[in-house]
Amino acid sequence: MDLQLTGSRVLVTGGTRGIGRAIVEAFVAEGAEVEFCARSADVCVSTAASLGPSATGTAVDVGDGPALTAWVGAAAERLGGIDAVVSNVSALAIPESEENWRSSFEVDLMGTVRLATAALPHLTQSLGSIVAISSVSGREIDFAAGPYGVMKAAIVHYVQGLAHQLAATGVRANTVSPGNTYFEGGVWNQIEGGQPELYASSLALNPTGRMGTPEEMAAAVVFLSSPVSSFTTGTNLVVDGALTRGVQL
């Protein structure tokens, strides 16, 4: 299927590892021009070099509102506009503490709000797309209940509200909620080594017998961002291998 993304101008936060990097790679493979950010300048440079001339990385702390807004503006100027943005960064602040509540709010939730707000003038011109990464932890209570799960649920609420507000403008807004996603150096790779009982019990919950891959999550994001998905807005696409049991009405 041709996703009609050749020449599209895309911004991705957190594009150097895991799901974020897979999203950048998938957009590049579809012919898009991608600007991504992460906190480490060196990693941004090395990632962009490995992905080729269609990907550009910039060091940005998504929890820094002015810095994130400035990056969106500069990227839009370099690209000549924006067709899609993907809010992917998470503080991954799971344990309960005031510091984790603050960082989850600033990075996960406000990072999404600020990205969408800064990009909206450009997306209105291009009839573009907003996709935010939530989580199955935003749908049901699991070991990540607390700052992480609450902010992931808030992202779904925010984006669905945004979809209704923007529908008449032609700008679409959706979320993707990944299930447990395994990759080298990722959270579940670390849990496998440090908390083997939690890893085994979590793996056993999935009827597919495995965890997802970053590439499987990225495919959902790229589809929702594409013109092929032009009538899909206000949805939360759960990609979890039937992990969650709740009925999404």
The one catalytic residue in 8, 87, 135, 177 is 135
Instruction: Provide the pLDDT for residue 248.
Output: 73
Please give the chain's pLDDT, 249 residues, in tens: 899 999 999 999 999 999 999 999 999 999 999 999 999 999 999 999 999 999 999 999 999 999 999 999 999 999 999 999 999 999 999 899 999 999 999 999 999 999 999 999 999 999 999 999 999 999 888 887 899 999 999 999 999 999 999 999 999 999 999 999 999 999 999 999 999 999 999 999 999 999 999 999 999 999 999 999 999 999 999 999 999 988 776
Instruction: Provide the pLDDT for residue 25.
Output: 98
The one catalytic residue in 8, 87, 104, 134 is 134
**Confidence (pTM):** 0.96
All structural domains of the chain? 9-239 (3.40.50.720)
Whether 54 is a known active-site residue: answer: no
How many degrees, rounded to 5, is the angle at CA 65 between CA 71 and CA 43?
50
Whether 148 is a known active-site residue: answer: yes
Instruction: Provide the pLDDT for residue 143.
Output: 84
Instruction: Provide the pLDDT for residue 2.
Output: 93
Instruction: Provide the pLDDT for residue 145.
Output: 87
Instruction: Provide the pLDDT for residue 141.
Output: 84
Whether 134 is a known active-site residue: answer: yes
The one catalytic residue in 103, 104, 137, 152 is 152
Instruction: Provide the pLDDT for residue 65.
Output: 97
The one catalytic residue in 8, 137, 148, 202 is 148
